[in-house]
Chains A and B, each alone.
Chain A
């Protein structure tokens, strides 16, 4: 039975919650039900995995939510309804994302500002830029081929009938980030750095480069989440508000230790799904939003309390 102890409890919790949802709402067992669920979870899962990179490096990225907003608003201004511009606008937004990640890493690495303050400052700056750029209200329109990623469903797929494009994006992005974290030397260096930066440096881990990549991954994931969210519902000035906290919550539910540690990509995705399932459950019961907040708070605290309890007991 020792293998039981090794399985991250987040997976068991997820399965139990999913069973509960399926039991309470048969609709959830139909493809339209669970695919819709996955489509809504996709942005937060991608954000959570991006956040995980920064958390594993020993930091936080509070600027992710503001970057989501900037992506949606910026794309709509640049595109202004012109479908032929979609591809280069997506490239521009990814470049902007990469620059934000580099800037975060620069401030943390060279100016030695704690990441919580550095990315808080970045969050405020980015929302200021988004507001200034748009003049405070959304401008321009997102053409259908941009909204394709967040909105479109591929129909008549064998076995599952329909498949939202957002879910494909989620699988590709999370798959790539899983590979980078768990199958490359970079992933080992990242975790080593989060565990103990001093000894990692002595062991030859290039701290600055490792941290920079982590922040860039987080920012790129925010841009991708922004593309999905903009696609799902269109332009608004506050799409990203609070998403960074949800992403941190999801990563933490998955077992990531704040201030450095070894959370896994799979567990972070599971954490995002747990969060989404709980919201779905509360919704089925018809609980209003305030109760969702209370439950999210309780889950957050108990997930971390449980993780540190396990750590103490396993002597790690």
Chain B
């Protein structure tokens, strides 16, 4: 009894304090509009090398960092704990191999822990070997102080998730999470029956690039009068995804669409409909091969916004430009973020690649493709 009493008291105290909880703002209309505008405009640079393209024309002056090569480039990686990061990391290593003036590429892997990544960055700085530091932060707020310390010593390039400081020379990312949500949200709004039930599946809370995908898709779906029957976290787990979708179908009957904030479990969601003998509605995805192949084979009607893994090439190229004193897009470098649609699907399907290979890797012409990426 004592136990229960204590637990309830704790729970009540905690829920009272949580009432005033304020989260980071992941539903920012200005940023939403800015990304929408980017999607609708044409980036600078050659479309053959999208990893070098950029929107806008503010450049960062890097003449202060000019130095003679060959260089030691350091990289603090948040982790390679999901297939997206595996593909990106492989692409980045391939990019490094292309450059003779990188004499050393020192890498630390924080295995998904903020605390460890802070220590890793301090280790790299203490080593004193780095000419430039690339950081792929595990979380935005937590890594900010460590990145600020690094900025005092050497040129820093941040990519993928951001930090809350503009001290890095440049911050590289595709258009962004709002853009991802806009592309998939609009497709559902235009193609699903009006007012139909939409289930939103998310990997996990708290990651800014995922939160913004969700908030912008939700905004569009609500404006289009769709009925959002639920938003659930799948932890990126296929079995859980399939079970959740089955439960929703059993509770609500056929759904109009399933919106996914990332594509790794899209096929599991599709299978839930198949196994219950129902027609597969719109299930959005991403540029993973298993999803693209299923889409093509079954003739589905859907869309795959991407968060291109070719962005892992850009930081290496940026580091070299910076150390050679050439200006680079900055302090923000936005790369194009194309979506795969029914029209261009055939260009991206490649059954020789592993199921969770991300088609938008920009790696097809790199040495050792496809074997280095696990293809045949």
Contact = CB atoms under 8 A, between A and B. Distances in A.
The answer to whether A binds B is yes
Interface of A: 27, 32-33, 36, 40, 135-141, 151, 153, 229, 232-239, 241, 283, 288-289, 298, 301
Contacts of B3: 301
Nearest to A232: B239
Contacts of B238: 233-236, 239
A233 B239 CA distance: 5
Contacts of B85: 136
A238 B235 CA distance: 9
Interface in B169-198: none
Contact of A138 (B7, B242, B247, B356): B356
B250 A27 contact: yes
Contacts of B201: none
B228 interface: no
B267 A136 contact: no
A289 B233 contact: yes
B28 interface: no
B331 interface: no
Interface residues of B, number: 37
B275 A236 contact: no
A137 B268 contact: no
B206 to A, nearest CB: 13
A127 to B, nearest CB: 11
B355 to A, nearest CB: 6
Contacts of A232: 239, 242
27 contacts: A27-B250, A36-B246, A36-B250, A135-B86, A135-B90, A136-B85, A137-B82, A137-B87, A137-B357, A139-B354, A139-B355, A141-B290, A232-B242, A233-B239, A233-B242, A233-B271, A234-B267, A234-B271, A234-B290, A235-B355, A236-B236, A237-B83, A238-B235, A238-B236, A283-B247, A288-B232, A298-B7
B34 to A, nearest CB: 32
Contacts of A283: 247
A260 B356 CA distance: 43
A57 B89 CA distance: 44
B264 interface: yes
Interface in B234-290: 235-239, 241-243, 246-247, 250, 264-265, 267-268, 271, 275-276, 290
Contacts of B239: 229, 232-233, 236, 239
B327 to A, nearest CB: 35
6 cross-chain pairs, A with B, having the tightest CB-CB distances, nearest first: A137-B83, A233-B238, A136-B86, A233-B239, A137-B86, A139-B354
A238 B237 contact: yes
Contact of B354 (A138, A153, A234, A288): A138
B80 A136 contact: yes
Contact of B264 (A40, A153, A229, A236): A236
Most buried by B among A40, A138, A140, A301: A138
A37 to B, nearest CB: 11
A151 B265 CA distance: 16
Most buried by B among A140, A234, A301: A234
B45 interface: no
Nearest to B265: A236
Contacts of B232: 288
Nearest to B85: A136
Given A151-B275, A229-B239, A233-B242, A137 B356 contact: yes
Contacts of A138: 83, 354-356
A238 B85 CA distance: 15
Nearest to A238: B237
A40 B250 contact: no
A54 B355 CA distance: 36
Contacts of A236: 236-239, 264-265
Nearest to A235: B355
A95 to B, nearest CB: 25
Contacts of B235: 238
A237 B86 CA distance: 12
B70 interface: no
B374 interface: yes
B243 A40 contact: yes
A234 B266 CA distance: 11
A237 B242 CA distance: 16
Most buried by A among B80, B237, B265: B237
A36 B271 CA distance: 14
Nearest to B267: A234
A136 B85 CA distance: 9
Nearest to A151: B275
Most buried by B among A135, A236, A288: A236
Interface string B202-237: 000000000000000000000000000000110111
Contacts of A136: 80-81, 83, 85-86, 89
Nearest to A284: B251
B268 A140 contact: no
Contacts of A301: 3
A136 B247 CA distance: 30
B376 to A, nearest CB: 9
Contacts of A135: 86, 90, 374
Nearest to A43: B239
Nearest to A141: B355
Given A233-B238, A233-B242, A236-B236, A137 B250 contact: no
